[in-house]
Amino acid sequence: MVVNNRWAREGGVLDEFLVENTFRNREGNPVLVDTVLLDIVAREPNITLLLDTAAIDVEKTGERISSVRAFCSMNQTMYDVRAPLFCDSSGDGALGFLAGAAHRIGAEASDEFGEGFAPTEEFGTLLGHSIYFYSKDVGHPVTFRAPSYALDIASLPNTMWKSFAARDHGCRLWWIEYGGRLDTIHDTEKIKWELWRIVYGLWDHVKNSGEFPDADNLTLEWVGLIPGRRESRRFEGQYMLRQQDIVDQVQHHDAVAFGGWSIDLHPADGIFTEHETSKHIWSRGPYQIPYRCLVSATVPNLFLAGRVISASHVAFGSTRVIGTGAHMGQAVGMAAAQCARDGLAPADLLAPDRMRVLQRELLRTGQHIPGVALDDPDDLARSADISASSEYIVAELPDDGPTVRLDRSRAQMLPLPAGQLPQVSFTVDVAAATTLRVEARAGHRPDGYTPAVLLGAQEVELDAGAGQRVKLDIDGVVDQPRYVFFCLMANKDVSVRTSERRVTGLLSVVHTFNQDADDKLGRPRIEFWAPERRPAGHNLAVAIDPPLSPYTPANITNGYARPTTHPNAWVADPEDPAPTLLLRWPDEQRIQTLTLSFDTDFDHCMETVLRGHPEDAMPFCVKHYRVRDGENVVAEVTDNHQTRNVHTFDPPLHATELSLEVVATHGDVPAAIFEARCYE
C-alpha cells in the first residue's frame, strides 16, 4: 500500500480466502489462517487432499506424465495418482524435475535477456532461505540460556539485526536469511541448522545483552522447523518472463494473472553479506503474467504455478511472492478444467479463440486481469434496460473530517471524463502567509496511478487564517476518461480539511517516496503516492464544478468488477432510503444464475498474518440485500461480507424484470454494486 498499485488486490479464489481470513481473523493469527484455508478446501467435494505426502517418482508415456507416485510417512501409504494433466506448484519443481522438464537454477547473465538488474557473482545469483520465530509475553521475567550452537550475532557483517525490536517476530524476520551460495534444495538441512544458530544467537543477544529491557517478560514461543525457501528451480515454459515485462508493464495477448511486488533480489550470503540486504525495482503498477509462462516447454501435459513458473531470475524476484503465485494457480486450475472438458493439451489453449474462452471463464469467477474486460455474450443483463432508484453525483465531499497538515504532498483522485478539467475547491487552514502550489496530474496510461503527467498547475497566495476556500481553475485537458490527481504540494504552513464520506472508487493519496532512475539497471524514476490506512486515509474535502457522474447503473455490465480508469460501479445517492437496481427486458427471460459483485475494497491488501486490520468486513461491502422477481423475493442475504455472491434458482426464474434492493452496507457509505450478471 505504499506504492502505486491502486485497487490491485488479487481476485478469484484468492480474494475469497483473503476476505474470509480478514473477516474471521482480523488480528492476523497465523494458526487461524490455516483453518480458513483448510475450510475452503474441505468444502470442495472435488478435491482429494493428501497432506504430508511427497511426490517421489514419475511414470511417463513418451514425453507426457502418466502417473505420479507419492508417499505419506504419516500413514505409511504409497499413492499412485493417474491423470491426463498435472501441475507442479511445489515451489521446488519436484514433479517437473522428476519428469525431466527443462529448468534452470541461478541467475541468467545480463546479456541473455538484456536485463540491467541481473546480479553479479559477487552479489550472488540465488536467493537463500529464511526461518521465523515467535515470542510471547508471559507476564513475568523469563531467563534464556543459549544452546551451544548459537551464533555470536555481534560478529555478523550485516547490521540488519541492529534494527531488531524485541517484539518483532514472524514475517518481519525475512532478513534472517542464508544459503544462497549452497544448493538450496539438497543442502536445506545444512541451511536450516545455520538459520537455527542465527535465531538462537539473536535471541541470546535480545535476552542477555541488556540492550532490550522490554524483552524481560518475553519467552521464545516457537522457532520454525522448516526454513522458507525462496528460490530453487525455475522451469522453461512457452515464454520466459523478464525484467522488461515487469518494469514496462508489457501487455500480453494471453494474460491470465498479474503481479505487483517489486523485483526484490537478496544477496546470496543473506545475513552474512556485506551488501545491502535487498535491492528493489518497482514498476509503475501491476503487470500482466502470460499463460505461456505457466505451461512447460518440454513436458506437454505439465502446468506450472507458483515459484517455479517460466521467469528469469530477475523477474522471479517479483513473481515469487505468495499472492501472485496463488493468482497464477487459479489460472492453471481453470485452464486444466477447459483442457479436460475439451480434450486439449495445455498449449492448445494458446489459440486465440480458446484463450478468449479461458480469460472469460477466469473473469466470470472474479479473477482480475489488468487491461482485460469481461466480454460475456451469455450475460442476459447486457440486453436489459438498467435503471436505479438513484445515482450518486459527486458535487462535494463535505468538510466534516479531521484536518491534516501538508507536511507531505497530498492528492485527491477524481474520476474525470474526457475534456476540460473541472473547477475544484479545497478548504485549508493557514498558519502563516504562504504560496500553495496545486498540480493536476494524470497517470502514464489511462489505467495507471503514477501521477507523472502534469496537466496543469496553479500557485495560490494565502494569508494566515482558518477555513479558507481555495478555488482552483487549472487550465488543462483530459484526453480520455481516467483518474486525475489534484495534488496539494507539501507546505508546512498549510493544513487541508478532509471528509468523513467514503465512496467506492474515491481515494486520497500521500506522496510516500521516490524511486531514483538508473538507466544501467533499467530502473525508472517513479514518484509513489499511496493512501493511508483506515481509520485514517480520509478523502480530502472537495467541491467539483461541474459535478461528476461516474456511477451510472450501466457500469454493472461494462466488464470490470473493480475501479480501473473510473469506478466501474453503480453507487446510490447517500440519501436514498432504499437503493435499488432494476433490470428490465422486453421479453420474458429464463434466468438460472445471478452473479453479484460487491466492493470489498480492492485497495486494501489484506495481509494474512501479523498485521491487523481496522475492520473484519469492508465498510463498502453490501451486507443485506434482497432480489425480487417483480414483487416476489427470490433471494435474500442478511450478512454478506464476500466480494461475489452467486444465486442459482431451481427451478429457473421466468422474468421480465429483476430488482436488487440494498438494505445495508457494513459501514456508513453509499450502496455500491460492481456487477449483476444473469445466465440461463
Cell of 469: 476556500
Residue range 428-447: mean pLDDT, rounded: 96
pTM of the model: 0.95
Cα 586 → chain centroid: 41
Cell of 410: 497530498
Q: What is the bridge-based pairing of β-strands 263-265 and 279-281?
A: antiparallel
Give Cβ neighbours of residue 439 (< 8 Å, ≥ 6 apart): 454, 456, 457, 474, 485, 486, 487, 489
pLDDT number for residue 611: 85
pLDDT number for residue 160: 77
Distance from C-alpha of 529 to C-alpha of 443, rounded to nearest angstrom: 11
How far lies 604's CA from each of 15, 475, 616, in Å? 11, 34, 12
Report the b/e string of 662-680 with b at 16+ CB within 10 A: beebbbebbbbbbbbbbbe
pLDDT number for residue 161: 77
DSSP letter assigned to residue 319: H
Distance from C-alpha of 278 to C-alpha of 263, rounded to nearest angstrom: 10
- Asked if 402 and 508 count as a contact pair (C-beta separation under 8 A), the reply is no
Q: Is the pLDDT of residue 158 over 80?
A: no
Cell of 669: 457509505
pLDDT number for residue 111: 95
Residue range 632-640: mean pLDDT, rounded: 97
pLDDT number for residue 401: 96
Give Cβ neighbours of residue 646 (< 8 Å, ≥ 6 apart): 593, 594, 595, 596
Element (H, E) at 633: strand 632-637
In the chain, what are the domain boundaries? 129-229, 380-391+551-679, 394-548
Q: Is the pLDDT of residue 610 over 90?
A: no
Helix, strand, coil percentages in the chain from 3-state DSSP, rounded to 5: 20, 35, 45
Residue range 71-93: mean pLDDT, rounded: 96
> What residue type is 207 in one-letter code?
K
Half-sphere exposure of 15 (CA within 13 A, CB side): 29
pLDDT number for residue 376: 95
Give Cβ neighbours of residue 631 (< 8 Å, ≥ 6 apart): none
For the chain, the average pLDDT equals 95
SS3 of 28, please? Answer: coil
Cα 451 → chain centroid: 20
DSSP letter assigned to residue 217: T
Which among 678, 589, 587 has a CA at the least distance from the CA of 379? 678
pLDDT number for residue 219: 96
Half-sphere exposure of 225 (CA within 13 A, CB side): 1
pLDDT number for residue 165: 87
Distance from C-alpha of 438 to C-alpha of 424, rounded to nearest angstrom: 11
- Asked if 364 and 376 count as a contact pair (C-beta separation under 8 A), the reply is yes
SS3 of 362, please? Answer: helix
Which among 624, 619, 623 has a CA at the least distance from the CA of 668? 619
SS3 of 357, please? Answer: helix
Cα 452 → chain centroid: 22
pLDDT number for residue 334: 97
Q: How many CB atoms lie within 10 A of CB 535?
A: 9
Q: How confident is the model at residue 172 (pLDDT cuts 50, 70, 90)?
A: confident
pLDDT number for residue 267: 94
Give 380-391+551-679's CATH code, choosing from 2.40.100.10, 3.20.20.100, 2.60.120.260, 1.10.10.10: 2.60.120.260
Cell of 480: 480520455
- Asked if 256 and 291 count as a contact pair (C-beta separation under 8 A), the reply is yes
Half-sphere exposure of 220 (CA within 13 A, CB side): 18
pLDDT number for residue 527: 97
Distance from C-alpha of 93 to C-alpha of 402, rounded to nearest angstrom: 52
Which among 483, 527, 528 has a CA at the least distance from the CA of 506? 483
pLDDT number for residue 276: 84
Q: How many residues does the chain have?
A: 680
Cell of 108: 541468467
Which among 597, 572, 582 has a CA at the least distance from the CA of 674? 597
**Angle at 612 (CA atoms; ends 606, 615), nearest 5 degrees:** 75
Domain 394-548 sits in CATH at: 2.60.120
Distance from C-alpha of 454 to C-alpha of 387, rounded to nearest angstrom: 37
How far lies 373's CA from each of 237, 360, 368, 423, 559, in Å? 26, 8, 9, 32, 5
> What residue type is 539 in one-letter code?
N
Q: What is the bridge-based pairing of β-strands 302-304 and 86-88?
A: parallel
DSSP letter assigned to residue 195: H
Cell of 93: 519443481
pLDDT number for residue 113: 97
Distance from C-alpha of 482 to C-alpha of 418, rounded to nearest angstrom: 8
pLDDT number for residue 1: 72
Q: Is the pLDDT of residue 279 over 90?
A: yes
- Asked if 238 and 310 count as a contact pair (C-beta separation under 8 A), the reply is yes
- Whether omega before 535 lies within 30 degrees of 0, making that bond cis, reads yes
